[in-house]
Amino acid sequence: MLNNNKVPVTETVLKNNHQSKIIWSVHYVNGHLTNNQEFMQVLEKLYTLSKHGAETGTITVSTDITAELGAGRTLLKDFMLDLENTKTTVWLR
């Protein structure tokens, strides 16, 4: 959740014999957040054609998980909420 909106993220879980990692990623285009690659490309082209230009990026966060996937998701969700409440996300608004 960013800016009090639910944000669709792409979730990837990497596993091997000894360790697992959960990764969330979301695309940013001029204040719009999406996990849809095609929609991101359309927005990027539209903003590129405008006089303001396109500001784009991908936000990716990850954490190691041990036993339960839900605990990793909670940790990432809390991190995203903390990120929303700091000055580092001024560029998202």
Q: Is residue 92 a part of any domain in this protein?
A: no
Q: Is residue 4 a part of any domain in this protein?
A: no
C-alpha 15 chain-centroid distance: 21
Domain count, the chain: 1
CA 23, CA 6: separation in Å to the nearest integer?
Answer: 17
Q: Is residue 5 a part of any domain in this protein?
A: no
pLDDT of residue 1: 45
Q: Is residue 26 a part of any domain in this protein?
A: yes
Helix (H, G, I), strand (E, B) or coil at 18: coil
Quote the domain boundaries for residue 79. 10-84
Helix (H, G, I), strand (E, B) or coil at 25: strand
Whether the pLDDT of residue 72 is over 70: the answer is: yes
For residue 75, give both structure tokens: 């940790």
Which is more confident, 68 or 73?
73
Q: Render pLDDT for 19-57 as a digit per residue (tens, 0 to 9).
A: 889 999 988 888 778 888 888 888 888 888 887 788 888
Q: Is residue 89 a part of any domain in this protein?
A: no
What's the pTM value of the predicted model, to 2 decimals?
0.72
Q: Is residue 91 a part of any domain in this protein?
A: no
> How many C-beta neighbours within 10 Å does residue 25 have?
14
Q: Is residue 93 a part of any domain in this protein?
A: no
